[in-house]
Structure 1
């Protein structure tokens, strides 16, 4: 098998490792490409190409994450990972576990870990690498990696909900949510939301926001019901998608350009959290990005025109 063929066979795994460490599609793709360059430039073939490339992409991702953490500390507003519509690494026997590990909730918890803890957790806990492989990848002893994993597991287990709903139940609830969203049905939305549900958006300060954070079923239902029917009036549509392994949607303007994503955390038959990503820097991998400010102005104009029409009808 040629180097190119070996690399392409492993690319889905390499991307999945890098994305879970970095939370960025673009940075993960860059890390994978850099790993290829190092592999292609090596004069000798490694004993295990998988071990070599996994270790290489992990080290690259750790270095990138160390500098990215400084940028994230200066980020405007809440920071979310870049939305991922499909994880290229497929393992039917562990599909639920892999989907859980790439959820927004899990990736945000990973942000609590140091870069080394995060890498060890991803390699060992998510992808089941042996400790000798983990140690070689992060440049630490096996004993040190075991300690890093213990700390990482403790942080991840602290207050972490698991999305235990069966896929059919979860998808049915999501379908009801999006139907109620289309209709602006406050009561229908509120019925599906946990009492302490939160709605949070990541705009990076670059787009109009629904809100920095809204909590409580009544508040969230009223806000959603007030906004989304108006978006439909100006031809903003959404496509239900699995986003980061959870039910969600991609919203597009009338020209089909990506406006934002929405993802739902479902637990115990209710929606526990709703997260939107509107930062255009995080949406480019999904397609051409819409001008959110132009959409916002059109929305405001439509509302003003509606009020004038109502006034003229009196």
Structure 2
């Protein structure tokens, strides 16, 4: 097998490692490409191509993450990972770990870890690498990596939801939610939302956003209904779609361009959180991106034209 064939076989794994460390599709793809360039230029063939390439992509991702941390501290508003529609790497023996680790909630928990802790957690807990390979990848001793893994696991466990719905229950609840959303059913939405439900978004200051968020089942339900009718009136479409392994949706304008994505956090039979990614810089990998400001202007005009006139 040629180097190029070996690399392409491992590309899904390398991307999945890099994405979990970085939370960015574009940066993960760049890290994978840089890994190929280094492998292609290497004068020797490693004993384990998988271990070698995983180590290279991990080191690159750690370096990128360290510089990205500074930018994220200066980020306008909430920072969310770039939405991922499909994880290219599959491993039946680790399907639960892989699915859990790519959710928005898990990726945001990973943001609390240091770059080294994050890399060790991803390699060890998510992908099941032995501590020898983990140590080689991050340039630390096995003993140090064991300590990093313990700290990372403690941080992750402390932030996780105590009870999580199984996949079938989440999908069924999400289906009912989007049916009620499309029908403009405030009562139906309110029934599916947790009492302290939140709707929050990441616009990066580059797209319209509903303040710092919408809080409480009643407010969220009414906001959802108020936003859909004018969006639908201008040809907007809400396409239910799994996003980061969770029930979610892609919003598209009348030309099919991406406006934003949603993910739903579901716990105890209720929707706890709706996370929207609206920053156009984070949506380009999904296809052509809409001008969200123009969409909102058109929607407001549609709302005014369809609102009943009242008199004093």
TM-score range, shorter chain: over 0.9
2:126 aligns with 126
Helix, strand or coil at the partner of 2:276:
strand
Helix, strand or coil at the partner of 1:311:
coil
2:309 aligns with 311
Which segments of 5 or more consecutive residues in structure 2 lack a partner in the other structure? none
Paired residues of 1:163 and 1:265 also in contact (CA < 8 A): no
Using the TM superposition, give the Cα deviation of residue 166 of structure 1 relative to its aligned residue in structure 2, in angstroms. Answer: 2.4
Using the TM superposition, give the Cα deviation of residue 262 of structure 1 relative to its aligned residue in structure 2, in angstroms. Answer: 0.5
CA distance in 2, matches of 1:147, 1:78: 31
1:116 aligns with 116
CA distance in 2, matches of 1:166, 1:147: 31
1:15 aligns with 15
Helix, strand or coil at the partner of 2:159:
coil
Using the TM superposition, give the Cα deviation of residue 234 of structure 1 relative to its aligned residue in structure 2, in angstroms. Answer: 1.0
1:190 aligns with 190
Report 1:1-314 matches (<5 A): 1-161=1-161, 164-307=164-307, 310-311=308-309
Helix, strand or coil at the partner of 1:242:
coil
CA distance in 1, matches of 2:8, 2:271: 38
Using the TM superposition, give the Cα deviation of residue 159 of structure 1 relative to its aligned residue in structure 2, in angstroms. Answer: 2.9
Deviation string 1:95-114 (CA, Å, 9 cap, x unpaired) is 23211100000000000000
Using the TM superposition, give the Cα deviation of residue 94 of structure 1 relative to its aligned residue in structure 2, in angstroms. Answer: 2.6
Helix, strand or coil at the partner of 1:182:
helix
CA distance in 1, matches of 2:91, 2:28: 20
Using the TM superposition, give the Cα deviation of residue 92 of structure 1 relative to its aligned residue in structure 2, in angstroms. Answer: 2.4
Paired residues of 1:181 and 1:229 also in contact (CA < 8 A): no
CA distance in 2, matches of 1:4, 1:282: 29
TM-score normalized by structure 2? Answer: 0.97
Cα–Cα, structure 1 residues 55 and 162, in superposed 2: closer, same or farther, change >3 Å? Answer: farther
Paired residues of 1:190 and 1:217 also in contact (CA < 8 A): yes
Which segments of 5 or more consecutive residues in structure 1 lack a partner in the other structure? none
Cα–Cα, structure 1 residues 311 and 215, in superposed 2: closer, same or farther, change >3 Å? Answer: closer
Using the TM superposition, give the Cα deviation of residue 313 of structure 1 relative to its aligned residue in structure 2, in angstroms. Answer: 11
Q: How many residues align?
A: 312
Using the TM superposition, give the Cα deviation of residue 312 of structure 1 relative to its aligned residue in structure 2, in angstroms. Answer: 9.2
CA distance in 1, matches of 2:223, 2:311: 27
Deviation string 1:61-113 (CA, Å, 9 cap, x unpaired) is 00000000000000000000000000000112332321110000000000000
RMSD over aligned CA atoms reads 1.5
CA distance in 2, matches of 1:76, 1:155: 25
Deviation string 1:152-208 (CA, Å, 9 cap, x unpaired) is 111111131167322221111101110111111111111111111111100000011
